[in-house]
């Protein structure tokens, strides 16, 4: 099974990607992880990417697509889940061209649908421990003592990118750049819309129903 997982920031892509990988034995392909690995290993692709990052510019789509298609072609026969990619229609088009050369193309696209207000509540409610990195949520997963880490007693903090203003900017970027990817795939692939406003277990149950139907 070869899956693309799409959704707005805070839709639960990271959480559900882990569940999909565990349930179906798929390979988790994260664009961020692959980029960091290529850089750490000093590969030719990694060095090219590093040159852009050192200059303070975005890594070009073509380079990201090359990295991801390389990882996909190397994926084991059991399949994969793409996480955080493609982010733009241009990336999706380039990925389709790259995958057309092999037999490891996309089977299904899962689109996690979530209300903007839920996104803002989820992300702005996150608190993290500056010492151990543990993550909490003021409503959904609070610490035992308000504002204090369960593990080391450190005062919890809100990350700068978890503020309401930043979240709204991230949502605006998503609607401008990434939501059109859903429509691109709906014209070409099997896309399953999964409501993701609810609790993680309920969302996962619906998601698994959709994926089980493909087997």
Q: What is d(CA 125, CA 144) in angstroms, rounded to the nearest whole number?
A: 16
End-to-end CA distance of the chain: 8
Q: What is d(CA 156, CA 168) in angstroms, rounded to the nearest whole number?
A: 23
Tell me the β-bridge partners of 192. 110
Report the catalytic residues: 13, 87, 126, 159, 170
182 closest CA partner among 97, 44, 87: 87
Q: What is d(CA 83, CA 13) in angstroms, rounded to the nearest whole number?
A: 7
126 closest CA partner among 142, 106, 109, 104: 142
**Phi and psi, residue 108, nearest 5°:** -150, 150
């Amino acid at each position: 099974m070869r899956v693309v997982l799409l959704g707005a920031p805070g839709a639960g892509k990271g959480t559900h990607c882990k569940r999909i990988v565990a349930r179906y034995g798929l390979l988790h392909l994260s664009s961020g992880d692959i980029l960091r690995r290529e850089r750490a290993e000093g590969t030719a692709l990694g060095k090219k990417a590093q040159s852009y990052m050192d200059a303070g510019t975005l890594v070009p789509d073509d380079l990201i697509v090359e990295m991801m298609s390389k990882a996909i072609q190397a994926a084991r026969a059991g399949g994969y889940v793409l996480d955080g990619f493609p982010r733009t229609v241009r990336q999706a088009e380039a990925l389709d061209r790259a995958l057309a050369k092999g037999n490891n193309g996309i089977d299904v696209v899962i689109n996690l649908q979530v209300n903007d207000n839920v996104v803002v509540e989820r992300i702005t409610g996150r608190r993290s421990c500056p010492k151990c990195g543990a993550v909490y949520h003021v409503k959904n997963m609070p610490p035992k003592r308000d504002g204090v880490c369960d593990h080391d007693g450190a005062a919890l903090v809100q990350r700068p990118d978890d503020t309401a203003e930043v979240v709204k900017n991230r949502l605006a970027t998503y609607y401008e750049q990434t939501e059109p990817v859903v429509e691109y795939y709906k014209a070409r692939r099997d896309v399953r819309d999964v409501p993701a406003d609810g609790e993680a277990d309920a969302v996962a149950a619906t998601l698994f129903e959709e994926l089980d139907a493909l087997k």
